[in-house]
Structure 1
Amino acid sequence: MLKHLAWMLCLFTLTVIPAQAKTFKIATVVPDGTRWMEELKQAADEIKQRTDGRVKFRFYPGGVMGNDKSVLRKIKIGQLHGGAITGGGLQNIYPDSQVYSLPLLFRSHAEVDYVRGHLDPFIIDQLYQNGYVSFGLSEGGFAYLMSEYPLDTVDKLRTLKVWSPEGDPISRAAFEAIGISPVSLPLTDVLTGLQTGLIDTVAASPIGAIALQWHTKVDYLNRTPLMYLYGTLIVDRKDFEKLSTADQRIVRAVMSAAFAKLDKINRADNEQAFQALKQQGIKFVSIGHASESEWTDAVKQATDELIRAGVVSEAITQRISEHLNDFRSRAQ
């Protein structure tokens, strides 16, 4: 009888103890005060409210925890629980996540929307299979070449000191394909590189160039979309699945809605930033047809080399090519 009463008391105690609160420590290179960070903080406030404080998010913006590579390392050792990571930064988790950023892949936002409608769920699932929960992809926009000097021919581009993100084999291959040896730097060192003359040319989205103050060190922008950028918030799957099922649903619902909103906001903000760059006196130039054809052919060969090297798989590049060809055939 006493044993039975002890067991019942223990069971009752377990049922009334409130769930332990969980604070997710999230790092990103995105500066504080940006629309991106504001939306994430609002989502975090809503999650805290809807879970009665059981789930909280603490953000470390502006690269204070280092670049994407450093953030991922800190997630693995438990110092962080997640990060807002760029598509290229996910290469060590799921290499094919970089496929959207293959150089000169997309010609328009319409193409982007069509392909992402087919492939976003697949990429998110692959991140999950590799140990991370993503709540959706958010457009970073098209990256354009920006420089102190005109960018109207490939020959001129070969004379410049072009930045390539540290650890990004795709952008490096795109430049090396036309005979450029890019300067590899982490994102956090790019502004200093422009200020000191270590580099004079970068590839960035309009909103990114303004947020990171790179636009203050360039005078020209080439209109050709070099590559498509995106970001996502990832959380260590083991940490996430320690939450109750109900709290997991709340976090997924709120963060997914936030990323769907950010996806639209970022496109509109990039269009406004594009105009802002014009108003600030940055000159927009176009590369000549012959130079563009030369670069396109060279990039195709570089992409084939990336596939052979295992940077991206042949399967994912074929898949994205099929979707693009389908869209383009319908558009004709």
Structure 2
Amino acid sequence: GLGALVPQVLVLQAPGLITNYPALDDVREKLGPDLVALFDKAGYELISWGDSGQVRIFSRHKIQHPNDLRNVRPWVWRGSPTMKAFIEAAGANGVTMGLPEVFSALQTGMVDTVIASSIGVLAFQWHTKLKTMTKPGGGIVVGAYVIKKDRLAALPKAAQDHIRQSAKDHAQEFREGGRRLDKEASDALADRLKAVNIWRNKDAWEAVQRSARNSLAGRLYSKSLMTRVQEIVGKNY
């Protein structure tokens, strides 16, 4: 994911920090130059932003309170520090593995809970081994179209210009398309899985999210960057 290239960009996925698309768009617009500079420093050009849906908790069990995660076997994506921090903040014991291993783990019962977007759960057919999904959706799976600068520079200038202009022309369509697909996937899953409203325990969830994102400040992303995002989100959303 993007975090493997530029860890600080995962501030956009810090647990509980950005929970809706308008807030995400606002943060990316206001901090865009700074985020682009981080990719540039790492040797990449950020061509355009995208996202892959809102995060939900899918399980074989009813998850209403963070403490419920202590009684299940949640999957933790190997290489996802934000997911790991969230599970640890909840006091749960996650099962770490790569993406290709999840389906078989759900089949055997090694894992019975996943934190992912509806798009991912439906695409990988994980829902066939699960029974519940939380509502409303939480954080957003952030993505982007990036190219190594040296590879881009090796192309003819006309090709470089075409790539940049095409990405600019279709940026909004790209974002809206991903969000529409996630809505459609969520609606489809709601017909097959039992929806569980977790905001009856909103304070408890927010406390876990706050603990998780604070634990990553200074390690994954700077505290100052997290504070800047909080200020943007806090004033408007």
If the TM-score is normalised by the length of the shorter chain, which range does it land in?
Answer: over 0.9
**Counterpart in 1 of 2:109?**
197
Give the conservation status (yes or no) of the 8 Å contact 2:48–2:146.
no
Q: Quick check: which has more Rg, 1 or 2?
A: 1
Q: Is this contact kept in 2: 1:163–1:183, CA < 8 A?
A: yes
Name 2:123's counterpart in structure 1: 211
Larger RCO: 1 or 2 (CA < 8 Å, sep 6+): 2
Structure-1 separation of matches of 2:108 and 2:139: 26
Are residues 269 and 132 of structure 1, via their aligned partners in 2, closer, same or farther at CA, if it must alter by over 3 Å? Answer: same
TM-score normalized with structure 1 length = 0.67
1:327 aligns with 2:236: yes
Name which of 49, 54, 65 aligns with 1:142. Answer: 54
Cα pair 2:77 2:98 within 8 Å, conserved: yes
Aligned counterpart, 2:212: 302
Q: Counterpart amino acid of 1:301?
A: S
Residue 206 of structure 1: CA displacement?
Answer: 1.3
Q: Secondary structure at the match of 1:91?
A: helix
Question: Contact 2:130–2:193 (CA<8 Å) still a contact in 1?
Answer: yes
Q: Which of 178, 193, 196 is the equivalent residue of 1:285?
A: 196
AA at the equivalent of 1:298: V
RMSD: 1.8
Residues 277 and 136 (structure 1), Cα distance of their counterparts in 2 relative to 1, 3 Å cut: same
2: CA distance between counterparts of 1:239 and 1:187?
Answer: 28
Indicate yes or no: 2:3 matched with 1:91.
yes
Query: What letter corresponds to residue 198 of structure 2 in structure 1?
Result: I
Correspondence list, 1:34-113, <5 A: 89-113=1-25
Aligned with residue 221 of structure 2, among 304, 312, 320 = 312
The answer to whether residue 64 in structure 2 is matched with residue 152 in structure 1 is: yes
Where is the helix percentage greater, Structure 1 or Structure 2? Answer: 2
Report the secondary structure of 2:54's partner residue.
strand
Partner amino acid for 1:315? S
2:163 paired residue number: 251
Say which of 43, 66, 84 aligns to 1:172. Answer: 84
8 Å contact 1:207–1:270 — kept in the other structure? Answer: yes
CA distance in 2, matches of 1:178, 1:287: 14
Q: 1:230 aligns with which of 142, 155, 158?
A: 142
Structure 1 residues without counterparts, runs of 5 or longer: 1-88
Gaps of 5+ in 2: none
Matched-pair contact (CA < 8 Å) for 2:19–2:138: no
Using the alignment, how far apart are the partners of 1:154 and 1:129 within structure 2? 38
8 Å contact kept, 1:120–1:137: no
Q: So what's the TM-score if we normalise by structure 2?
A: 0.92
Bigger mean CA deviation after superposition, 224-233 or 260-269: 224-233
In 1, the alpha carbon distance for the partners of 2:46 and 2:168 equals 9
- Note the C-alpha offset of 1:277: 0.9
- 8 Å CA contact 1:93, 1:130 repeated in 2: yes
- What per-residue deviation string (whole Å, max 9, x for no partner) do you get for residues 45-102 of structure 1? xxxxxxxxxxxxxxxxxxxxxxxxxxxxxxxxxxxxxxxxxxxx22343211101111
Deviations 1:110-167 (A, max 9, x none): 2223222223443233212210122111121111000111111223221000011101
Structure 1 residue identity aligned to 2:215? E
Percent identical residues? 26
* Count of residues in correspondence between the two structures: 237
The answer (yes or no) to whether the contact 1:102–1:170 under 8 Å persists in 2 is yes
1:206–1:274 contact (8 Å) kept in structure 2: yes
* Equivalent AA in structure 2 for residue 297 of structure 1: A
Runs of 4+ in 1 over 3 A off after TM superposition: 255-260
